[in-house]
Structure 1
Amino acid sequence: MRGAWRTTWLLLAFMVVNFADKAVLGLAGPEIRAGLGISRQEFGSAQSAFFALFSVAALGVSALTKRVRTTTLLLALVLMWSAAQLPMLWGAAGFGALVATRVLLGAAEGPAAPVAMHHVHGWFPQRERALPTAVLLVGAAAGVAVAAPVLSWVISHWGWRWSFGVVGLVGLAWAVAWRIWGAEGPMAPEVGKEPVRGPGDVRPVPLRRILLSPTFLTAAFGSFAAYWSMSTLLTWAPDYMESVIGWDLHRASTMVGVGALVNGAVLLVHGLLSRRAALRDTPPRLPVGAGAGLLVAIAGCATAVFGTADSLAVKVPMMLGPMALAMVMLTVAATACSRITPPSQRGVVLGALTFVYALGGILSPLVLGGMVDGAASVAAGYERGWLLTSGLLVTGGVLAAFFCRPERTALKLGVPESPEAAPVPVAH
C-alpha cells in the first residue's frame, strides 16, 4: 500500500498542475483582454480553443493504454502541456498564439484525468477506488485554490504573461519527479500483448454495450453538467465578481480559491465516507447513482439562487456550500464506469467518459461569453448563463438518480467486482 499511496500523491500533484494550467486564462482574463484588445466573446473563443482537441485526445490517448504503459503516457503528457505554456512569455505573442497554444495545451491535458485514473486504479481493488479517485479530483480543486493567490500575485507583480511561464516550469519539475518515482501498479493490466487467459479471467465486453448502458450514459451526462458548471466558474467567476459584483482582482481570485478548497473538501469527505462504507461492508442507504444525482440536483438549485439573488449574503454561501456538491458526480461517474468495465478496457471507457463530459468545457466558455456580450447588460447576460447551468445540473442529477446503477449494469454485462472474482453469467 505504501507504493499505492505514494503514486496517488504524485498524481494528486499532477492534477494540481493540470488545473492550475486551466485556471490561468480565467484568473488573468481581464488583463489578457486588455493586453490583447479582445472582447469577451473572443476571450471565450480562446478558452473554448483549449477544448478543441481535448475530448478527441482524451479518447485517442486513452485507447493507447492497451499498448503503452501509463507511466510513459503521463510523462509525455506533462512535457507536452508544459511546453505549450512557454510561448506566451514572448512579448510579441498575440491572440493567434494564445489560441494555438490553448489548442495544444488542451490536446495534452485532455487525456490527463482518464489516464491518471486508469493508472491509480491499477494500484487499488475496486472496493477501495473511491478515495484515491476523489484524491485525484481534489487536485482539480487544489490546483485552482493554489493557483488563484499565487498567479494573482504573479500577474500583479510580473504581468499576465508570466502566469503562463510559471505553470509551465512547475510542470517540468513534476516530470522530473515522475521519472524518478513513477511506477505501474500490481493490478495494472498487461500492455503490448494479449494476455494468457484462465477460466476466472474477465473477458472483454463489446464497447457498444458498455457505452450504451444506462449507467454510462447517465454518468456521462451528469459529469457533463458538473464539468460545465466547473468550467463556467473557472472561466467566468473572476470576471463576474469584478464586472457585476464590483470586487477587485485580489478579492475575486481569493473567492475563487476558497470556492475551490470547498470543492476539494466535498470530494475528500465523499471519498472518505465511501471508503469507510466499503471497508465496513456497510450497504449504502441509497444506490450510488441516486445519492450523487440528488447532490447534483441540489447544486443546480443553488446555482439558480446564486445567479438571481442580489444579496452577497446569499451568493457567497451558495458558492461556498451547495454549489460545490456537483463535483461528487465526477468521482461517482469514474468509479461507476470502472465498475462496469473489464480492466483491459478501463482506460478506453474512462477516455470515452472524459470525451463526453469535456464537451461541457468546450461549450460553456463560448456559450456564456456570447450570452454576456449579447445581453442588454453584463449582469443580465450572466444571470441567463447561471440559469442555463442550473438547468443542466438539475437534469443531469435527476437522470443519474434514476438510471446510474453500476452494480446492476455490471451484473448484466458479466463484469465481476475484481479480476480475481469468478465471472458473473452474461445476460443476453
Structure 2
Amino acid sequence: MSGARGGSEAGALSAAAVRTAGRHGAWGTTWLLLAFMLVNFADKAVLGLAGPDIMREFGISRQEFGAAQAAFFALFSVSALAVSALTRKVRTSVLLLGMALLWSVAQLPMVWAAAGFGTLVLTRVLLGAAEGPAAPVAVHHLHGWFGQRDRNLPTAVLMVGAAAGVAVAAPALSAVISGWGWRWAFGTVGVIGLVWAAVWRRYGSEGPLAPPVGGARGREDAEVPEVPLRRVLLSGTFLTACAGSFAAYWLMSSKLTWLPDYLETVLGWDAHRAGLMVGAGAVANGVVLLVHGVVAQRAARRGRPGRLPAGAGAGVLLLLSAAAVTVFATAGADWLRVPMMFGPMALALPMMTVGQTAVARITPPAQRGVVLGAVVCVFALGGVLAPLVLGGIVDAGATAARGYENGWLFTAGLLAVAGALTALFLRPERDAERLGVPETPPVGVPVAH
C-alpha cells in the first residue's frame, strides 16, 4: 500500500510545477554553487600566491612551505567523509552555509601582524576541515536539481569554480599583495566568504530530486533499493574514478602551490606577471571544463552508447595532459613551454567531472552524498602529498630549475598511469546495471511505479 500511495503521490505531483522549479531553480542554484566553488578555490589559491612573500618573511624553506600547504589537507579527507555522511541527516543547504562561515573564520586571523607561521599552519588545518566536504556536498546538492542525463554540464560548471576561482584570485589577490601586503589577501577572501554565506542564506534551497533526510524515502529514490557500500566502493568505476581524480587533483594542487614560485624563481618573472599568467591559465582551464561538459551532456542526452567505452575519453585526456606536462617540464624555450599552461595541461581536469558523475550513476540517491564524499576522501590525498613531495623534489635538485623539472616529470608519470587505468576500467553503465541502480529521470518526468 505504501508503494501504491507513493506512486499516486508522485503521479499527483504537477509536472508543470516541477518543470518550473527546474527552470527557475536549477540553474540559479548552479550559479550560486559556482560562486561557492570560486570562493573555495580562491581560499586555496591565496597561500600559493603569497608563497614567495611568506617564505621570505618567515625565513622558511620550500619544503617547510610545502608542509604548511599540506596542513590544509590534514583533516580534509576525514572531514569530507564525515560531513558527506551527514547528508543523510542534515539538509545540504544547511551544511553548505556552515562551511562558508567556517572558511571566513579560518582566513581572518592572518590579517593580524602578530600571526606567525604556527598560526598559519593552524588556520590552514581549520580551513581544510571546512573545505574538505565542499565539492561532494555541493555536487550532491546540485544533483538534487538535475536528472542523470542532464548532470554533465552543471557539474562541469561547478568544477569551473576551481578554474574561475584561480582566474579571478590570481590577478586580484596579486594586486592586493602588491598594494597592501600578503596578509590582506587572506582578509579579502575571508570577507568574500561572508558575503556568499549571506546570499546563500537568502536564496539557497533544496531541489525537487533531492533525497529526503532522516531516513525517509522520496521521489527520486522511491524504487531504488540501497546497495551495500562495499559493492560500490570495490567497483571498477569507483576505484578508477578515485585514481583518475587523484592524478587530476595532484596536478591542480601542484600548480596551485608551486607554479607562482616556478614562474618567479626559474623563469625570472615578477610577481605581477606570474599572477596574470596563472590567472590566464586558469581561464583556459575553465574553457576546457565547459567544452567537455557541453560535449558530454549532448552525448548523454542522445541516450545511445558511444563507439568507445565510457572511460576511454577521460583516460585519453589524462594521457594527453601527461604529454603536455612532460613538454612543460623539458622544453627549453618559453614559446613552447608557456602554451602548455593554456589548455593542454588542463585536459586532466575534466576527470573531476567524469569521476563524480560516473560515481553518482552507480550509487542509489540516498547514498550518493556518502559515496561522493568517499571519492573526495581518496583523491584529496593528492592535495596532501603533492605540495610535500614536489617541495622535497625541488629542494633535492642540484638547482631549482632541475628540481622543478624532476617534479613535473613525476607528475606526468602519475597522470599517464591514471589515464591508462581509467581508459580500461571506468564503466559506469555496466557497473550500474550490475548493482541494480536505474537511471535518474529528468526533472518533471514522473518516476514509474
Q: Tell me which interval the TM-score lies in, with the shorter structure as reference length.
A: over 0.9
2:140 matches 1:118: yes
Once the two structures are TM-superposed, the CA of residue 343 in structure 1 deviates from its matched residue by 0.2
Distance in 2 separating the partners of 1:199 and 1:133: 20
| 5+ long unaligned stretches in structure 2 | 1-22
Q: Which residue of 1 aligns with 2:230?
A: 208
Structure-to-structure mapping, 1:241-390, within 5 angstroms: 241-390=263-412
| Contact kept in structure 2, 1:288 and 1:332, CA below 8 Å | no
2:130 matches 1:108: yes
Distance in 1 separating the partners of 2:95 and 2:104: 14
Once the two structures are TM-superposed, the CA of residue 317 in structure 1 deviates from its matched residue by 1.6
Once the two structures are TM-superposed, the CA of residue 422 in structure 1 deviates from its matched residue by 6.5
**CA RMSD between the two structures:** 1.5
| Contact kept in structure 2, 1:30 and 1:239, CA below 8 Å | yes
Distance in 2 separating the partners of 1:64 and 1:362: 24
Q: Which residue of 1 aligns with 2:190?
A: 168
Structure-to-structure mapping, 1:64-213, within 5 angstroms: 64-195=86-217, 201-213=223-235
Once the two structures are TM-superposed, the CA of residue 7 in structure 1 deviates from its matched residue by 0.4
SS of match in other structure, 2:266: helix
2:27 matches 1:5: yes
Distance in 1 separating the partners of 2:372 and 2:222: 24
Corresponding letter in the other structure for 1:348:
V
Distance in 1 separating the partners of 2:306 and 2:184: 48
Q: Which residue of 1 aligns with 2:84?
A: 62
| 5+ long unaligned stretches in structure 1 | 424-428
| Contact kept in structure 1, 2:220 and 2:440, CA below 8 Å | no
Once the two structures are TM-superposed, the CA of residue 196 in structure 1 deviates from its matched residue by 7.5
Corresponding letter in the other structure for 2:34:
L
TM-aligned CA distance change 1:101 to 1:196, over 3 Å: closer
Once the two structures are TM-superposed, the CA of residue 280 in structure 1 deviates from its matched residue by 3.5
SS of match in other structure, 2:225: coil
| Contact kept in structure 1, 2:221 and 2:366, CA below 8 Å | no
Pick from 382, 390, 394: which aligns with 2:416?
394
Distance in 2 separating the partners of 1:284 and 1:253: 40
What does the per-residue CA deviation read over 1:167-206, in whole Å, with 9 as the maximum and x for residues that have no partner?
0000000000000000000000010133379996101101
Q: What TM-score results when the alignment is normalised by the length of structure 2?
A: 0.92
Once the two structures are TM-superposed, the CA of residue 38 in structure 1 deviates from its matched residue by 1.1
Report % sequence identity. 67
Q: What TM-score results when the alignment is normalised by the length of structure 1?
A: 0.97
| Contact kept in structure 1, 2:209 and 2:219, CA below 8 Å | no
Once the two structures are TM-superposed, the CA of residue 313 in structure 1 deviates from its matched residue by 1.2
2:65 matches 1:43: yes
Distance in 2 separating the partners of 1:150 and 1:224: 29
TM-aligned CA distance change 1:322 to 1:196, over 3 Å: closer
Pick from 440, 444, 447: which aligns with 1:418?
440
Q: How many residues align?
A: 423
SS of match in other structure, 1:28: helix
TM-aligned CA distance change 1:212 to 1:89, over 3 Å: same
What does the per-residue CA deviation read over 1:230-274, in whole Å, with 9 as the maximum and x for residues that have no partner?
100010000001000111111111111111111110110111112
Distance in 2 separating the partners of 1:122 and 1:286: 29
Distance in 2 separating the partners of 1:196 and 1:155: 49
Corresponding letter in the other structure for 1:400:
T
Distance in 2 separating the partners of 1:41 and 1:274: 40
Once the two structures are TM-superposed, the CA of residue 279 in structure 1 deviates from its matched residue by 3.0
